[in-house]
Structure 1
């Protein structure tokens, strides 16, 4: 029976010399394979696992694997990474993963008793399948091979002594060897290669001599360089990859600074990929001229720099993306970059105190009271309890779409007010978010207005009673005067 694997037909049968298009085929287990099949799962226990739907960018098992077909699977715990299982399984009529054979698991090769929590279930290629598929066939399994070998002459046993010759028997061999460089350990010794030395190397079918200065240079002061850059008061390794462009590791002991350089350097303009230099009493990473991206250390701060900037005199000053010092970690430019994105979020922020938002009057314009129609719209927003799709705990808060709908019912755009954010998630989708500090502010304003209305309603009868009493007292005074 043929087994189809993503359009490839596997025929698990013995190899035959008569096969032409399938020469070398071996029997392999009949498992179904398919690309990008992965689902979430929160099921528990050792029995069949109920699958919870395809993960982003993947397909469901029910859409890719026929019911009852065997395949290799892998279960990886996300809530509990210590629980995992690989094996052979099938999808039953209810769309569940039936675990037939366990190849390996966190339970010592037994079925894992999965605990509650999120898990990833994927269709994969098991190591056991590779092991079975790579077993070579025996001679008897290759149809016709044994019959073809029968009656053939066995390999002979040829003695080396029967074919020995002396050098003189081979015309010209001794003369050719005499002209070659001898291989010997009896020569004199030296500790370093001098520039005037000649090093013999093989090139093509012949030999050439390379001067020692091309491999190592040493000046009168003992400075040494590997390569052809020259010592020049420093030790370095140079490799030239293009005209004027060198890749170097340089240790410099020059004054007024000492430095270590690593990376590509253009000798014409003096640009480095990375360099560490000791200036006075501080260690500084100082990329110069055209190459600037990387990590710099200046004045006690570690700077993450971008590949852009400006040249100040002879020194190139790169753009600082982020700086970390003894007292703070800060962006290189004020109010330009966010921490995370809608599609790449931090899980949690731990801090000793709350965030501080700029509220300086000098930074604001159009300062006025919150309109009643905003507060009227907010009265249609309900606080909710909920659980996240991939979480277990209950939470309280708001739903961004409900806030948008409450304002839209009164013809207002909540995104224009600043309550709601709708951002791209980086995978073609959108994520709705809320600025909770704005939501709390408008909630407080709505409650203040409602309390004022309740207070006014409570005070209204009292004011009416006072007005009636004042009117009656005024009438009584008029009669007495008459």
Structure 2
């Protein structure tokens, strides 16, 4: 047992009381090893306030990496778990640190698919919006934009054990739109809204994207225009 400004005991055979501790390299890097006897044991770092646990990081009870938190030292919640296959499990609500500030992925770091029990909720409170006006020329957009069937040139990427990334050719046929055609249709109708955009608004050659959720409003407006035309025709016939 060994203590530095502290008393070691049978449980804590090395005890250090200090404002800081330094483990320096001997010419290259430095690695600290923590080893446990069996998978079911625990090897971890425990963070305490007044000797009461508040956070724990380590392989606790299995060989997965656990990040745990506690409000009182007795009730523990799993915040994040990473297993040997690099699968990440979250144990709570995930939210950005600042509201409406960060994206989930980008044009060159895309998620291949998102699984959800329910659809995406998009906030739409009138108190958050400055109304610009009604959506005009919706029928013109619908007439101009042609839905297409397509196959991705690169259907996905797989990371090899050596860290390299290999492209997988696309095989599945999808239905959708072409961003350039949506842009051309909007220009023809003298419209500019968020159904289309550039990854880098300062670079006209950057990748283009679409937002299908905003096309729902276009379809709704076009349907209203069509219904109004049908109502007018019906009134002429019956009149």
CA contact (8 A) 1:218 1:225 kept: no
Deviation at 1:438, TM superposition (A): 0.2
- Once the two structures are superposed, residues 436-473 of structure 1 have per-residue CA deviations (whole angstroms, 9 ceiling, x without a partner) of 0101221121122112202321221211xxxxxxxxxx
Equivalent position of 1:431 in the other structure: 207
- Once the two structures are superposed, residues 66-109 of structure 1 have per-residue CA deviations (whole angstroms, 9 ceiling, x without a partner) of xxxxxxxxxxxxxxxxxxxxxxxxxxxxxxxxxxxxxxxxxxxx
User: Is 1:370 aligned to 2:135, yes or no?
Assistant: yes
Whole-Å Cα distance in 2 between the matches of residues 219 and 422 of structure 1? 61
Equivalent position of 1:408 in the other structure: 187
Structure 2 unaligned residues grouped into runs of 5+: 33-42, 58-66, 72-76, 81-88, 155-169
Whole-Å Cα distance in 2 between the matches of residues 401 and 220 of structure 1? 70
The RMSD of aligned alpha carbons is: 4.0
1:333 alignment partner, one of 88, 94, 98: 98
Equivalent position of 1:446 in the other structure: 222
Whole-Å Cα distance in 2 between the matches of residues 298 and 337 of structure 1? 28
Equivalent position of 1:396 in the other structure: 175
Change over 3 Å in CA distance of 1:325–1:457 after alignment to 2: same
- Once the two structures are superposed, residues 349-388 of structure 1 have per-residue CA deviations (whole angstroms, 9 ceiling, x without a partner) of 01111000001111111253222x3543443212222222
Equivalent position of 1:381 in the other structure: 145
Change over 3 Å in CA distance of 1:380–1:329 after alignment to 2: same
Number of aligned residues: 181
| Pairing of 1:218-257 with structure 2 (within 5 A) | 221-222=7-8, 232=16, 239=23
With structure 1 as the length reference, what TM-score do the two structures score?
0.32
Whole-Å Cα distance in 2 between the matches of residues 362 and 237 of structure 1? 53
Structure 1 unaligned residues grouped into runs of 5+: 1-191, 193-215, 242-246, 250-259, 262-274, 287-294, 304-323, 464-482
Larger radius of gyration: 1
2:123 alignment partner, one of 352, 358, 361: 358
